[in-house]
Structure 1
Amino acid sequence: MGQPVITTAQEAHWKGPEKPRDTETRWVEISESAEFRGLMAAKARFLIPAILFSFVYYFALPLSVGYFPHIMKKQVIGSINLAYLFALSQFFVAWAVAFIYARVAENSFDVTVNRIKEKLRGRGNP
């Protein structure tokens, strides 16, 4: 009878003297902040070109094999032709894009996210 009713998992883990603010209210506050909008814009400036590049690079192989078969059949090393090398290169390009994203995220995006979280924690938010 004396126990408070816990309605969310967040409330079950709350250690402060008062209940946490409504999650939706905090999310609106975060999403409207200039810092968060800057983070989303920075991610879009990286991700949109990276996705477009990956898309074009991926479809370049079937298109070049279809429209330029005489070039793609050219033997490069023994029986390995240009089409096989291009196909193999797609693995390395995908890994390179993933590696570059991880570096940019670690050095830029994650720093901004941590700054936003620290700002909220400094005001008494979990």
Structure 2
Amino acid sequence: MASTPNWAAIDSDPRFQALHRKKTTFLWSLMIISVVYYFLLPIGAAYYQDLFKTKIWGPVNFGILFALSEFVVAWTIAYVYTRKANRDFDAMSAEIVKTIK
């Protein structure tokens, strides 16, 4: 039967605190980028109507392309987080788990 981890020891470990700080900073950075980009659409549509009405190709205008780019940005942010988590955060947490039982 597997033993229960010593959560108090993990929480007080300076490596865990560093991991938590790094991860929190990184996630807040991604959140700020995504929120700013998200709100550019309604702000741009309200204050830069001529730009957003600009035809790009047939009935497709800049506003439609910008709205669709929201999906690209969301998937890019997910990809960036996944790479960072797999490369850095998982390695840091594995090291902590390996030494604390």
TM class by shorter chain equals: over 0.9
RMSD, aligned α-carbons: 1.3
9, 12, 17: which is aligned to 1:37? 17
Which is further off, 101-110 or 38-47?
38-47
Query: Identity across aligned pairs (percent)?
Result: 34
Report how many residues are paired.
Answer: 101
Structure 1 residue runs of 4 or more that deviate by more than 3 Å after TM superposition? none
Normalised to the residue count of structure 1, the TM-score between the two structures is: 0.75
Larger helix percent: 2
62, 65, 68: which is aligned to 2:48? 68
Greater Cα radius of gyration, structure 1 or 2: 1
Which residue of 2 is the match for residue 113 of structure 1?
Answer: 93
Normalised to the residue count of structure 2, the TM-score between the two structures is: 0.93
Aligned 1:92-111 pairs, distance under 5 A: 92-111=72-91
Specify every segment of 5 or more residues in structure 2 that has no aligned partner in the other structure, as ranges: none
**1:29-78 per-position Cα deviation (integer Å, ceiling 9, x unaligned):** 11111100110111022111100000010111011101111110000111
Specify every segment of 5 or more residues in structure 1 that has no aligned partner in the other structure, as ranges: 1-12, 15-19
Which fold has the larger relative contact order, with Cα–Cα distance below 8 Å and residues 6 or more apart in sequence? 2
